[in-house]
Structure 1
Amino acid sequence: MAVRPSVRLLNGHSMPIVGLGTWLSKIGEVGNAVRVALDAGYRHIDTAQNYYNEEEIGEALEEKVNEGKVKREDVFITTKLAMAGMAPENVKKETLLSLKRLRTDYIDLYLIHHPVSISDEGMSEEPPVRFPKYKNGALKTSFIDPLDTWREMEKLVDEGLVRAIGLSNVNKQQLQRIFEKARIKPANLQVECHAWFPQYEMAEFCEKRGIAFSAYGPIGSPGRPPVEGPATPPLMDEPALKEIASKHEKTVAQVLLRNLMQRGIIVLPKSVTPERIKSNFQVMDFELSPEEMDIIKGINKELRLFQFNYYGKQNFLHPFFPWPELAQSYQPGQGMEQL
């Protein structure tokens, strides 16, 4: 199945189907990763206020623009509003700070990072404390309706500060609620998606409404910290995947990415290793057969690798927590300082 290099958004702009993920990229490494990615042909960079790396990404992008290697309008930048910035009075202020850090006049796609808001008590500090906690380690959450946050994000589009807005880490009911009530419809949903957790129902839900679907953790996020979810062997160790990769003379990571892309899903592989960054982009020169797609479909475990344990079990009962059923498998987290 042929794969288009970009996905058309509801606003008419195109979003490249392969982006560089930057979560967990250490300060001092992410800038070089962005430089390598842009030189390799990437035109989509995914970040977030919560990653604390927007400034370094902005420096790398500005450098490449000044060198004449890329034009700003050819690079698609996604960033995400911190959960501690979701109060309506904070949304524009936080957006302007992201624009300053990214050294750009506009953001291509701006997402609500998670539907559960966090106290903004430490946001005025430098650097901002985006994850204040109680003594028991649970995050200090607040009770801001994501719809109220959304209304403010719509104003950002009106002002030209943001071109498209979307959501991350929401369930189907939350997405539907925003979609029905929004003046500007969600252009994109970004959620965990990989061969063990393929999200068929959610992907179909988005497709029917013209919402672009992005996958984080598309190769199983082998570097995710223990606080995020269950300890498992790497997804890339699946024998069936190794066999398919060998047949195509590709890496297992490339097979996993291609599988999602053939489903029309935008992929956001993260790496700071130059060879892997380049390899993850070399996914347009082969095709998985229908039989191979079915084999990959057969390894589905409906296994969430990201279970947000760092929120603390008490917050699994928060009215906007998207998956309260995760409380049954909750394992005490280590704190956000581990992320």
Structure 2
Amino acid sequence: MLHFPTSRPRRTALALATSILIGSLTSAAFAAAPMQKVQSGYLHIMLGKFEITAISDGTVDLPMEKLLAEPIEDTKKALNRAFLDDPTETSVNAFLVNTGDRLVLVDTGAGQLFGPTLGKLVANIQAAGYSLDQIDDVVLTHLHPDHVGGLMWDGKMVFPKATIYAGKADTDLWLSEAAKKKDGDASHFFAGAMASLSAYVQSGQLKPFTGDREIVPGIKAVSAHGHTPGHVVYQVDSDGKRMYIIGDLIHVESVQFAKPTVTIGFDSDQKAAEASREEFFAKIAKEGDLVGAAHLSFPGLGHIRAQANSYEWLPLRYSTRLD
């Protein structure tokens, strides 16, 4: 039988020993948990009867004060108002559209072309519940490296069963050795497109298209030239609901919604890029359609509201209702 001392000094000693023992046990049982530092890279929503999945390829820091065609101080003030720094951490988003009959990927992220902060597309597609061989079609808004790089990994085709669609004006430009030699300043854009698409060209899987056309039932390519000569927006329609996946019509929500006339250095034709942005923003705001954007903060989903000569971005609210 255990015997507990009852005198005051002994009771004090016992209390102290007990406190030390409990403290050591507590410390051992509740050791500091390691930080995870991993973000979820996908989000499912429903558009009519279609399932749309936003897929993150990661983020990349971009020097917006240098890239945007407006005074540096104005850009700095706009970024500061949005609690953003320069360089600005910028999302690279892709979108999966499950029509029920076909699984279509819009853009592919940067793959291995932009360093370790990008190239998360494949892992996030799989985390979202899909396998790569389920993807029937890949539709590209344009052929810049951060939209086509994910087509390849370690020199191998990531989507060997998929048909690849892109605007012919872009394939004619970015896959041209002659154009690459002529425009040396943008040689890395040409190199990225060629490295990403050459295998699909050789296999006959690349299908360039011209004009506005339906790619698969419910998904239509609509010309939005300017950012690149063949830049397109994808209009997705299901059961009376509509979404526009707008590619690079916009890069910086804190600047270009308030001032849609502001262009970015990546635009091939700045006047045409500005005109396309104005046209689609006005149309989308009037009709209240959903938007999916490649470089707005992940998941890049929301609505656009018109305000006099500017626009307001309304990010989509999170919902668990996927009926």
What interval of TM-score do these two structures reach, taking the shorter chain for normalisation?
0.3 to 0.5
Query: Structure with the greater relative contact order (CA < 8 A, sep ≥ 6): 1 or 2?
Result: 1
TM-score after normalising by structure 2: 0.33
Structure in which a larger fraction of residues adopt strand: 2
> Rg larger in 1 or in 2?
2
